[in-house]
Amino acid sequence: QVQLVESGGGLVQPGGSLRLSCAASGSIFSIYAMGWYRQAPGKQRELVAIITRDGSTKYADSVKGRFTISRDNAKNTVALQMNSLKPEDTAVYYCKTERTFDGSGWYDYWGQGTQVTVSS
């Protein structure tokens, strides 16, 4: 059983910055990838950024150059540094672990989500 807890969301002005954090806990032996997804009102959930255990990263085109994803394998945490925020970044942000081995099988897990609002 694995639990994901996100933190760091809130209200920020356009051009500002926020840092989201996610901690995975429970019976964890290995996590192949940790990522951040977001869902804005009226839109489908989309991948924002993802990082594998060996440090390979991918970003959505809309956030390249503004967001940075990082990971601490020893602590099973992932962070998303968001700079130069825009109103269109407003969404609920979700942490996800992919191919998480709990000792018996490989599973995906989702966090509960944290609200990010970019507005003046």
Q: Mind listing the pLDDT tens digit for each residue in 67-106?
A: 999 999 999 999 999 999 999 999 999 999 999 999 999 9
Give the model's pLDDT for residue 58. 98
Distance CA 16, CA 67 (A): 12
Give the model's pLDDT for residue 1. 82
Give the model's pLDDT for residue 118. 98
Give the model's pLDDT for residue 40. 97
Give the model's pLDDT for residue 86. 98
Average pLDDT, the chain: 96
Which ranges of 31-101 does DSSP label H, i.e. alpha helix? none
Q: Mind listing the pLDDT tens digit for each residue in 11-28?
A: 999 999 999 999 999 999
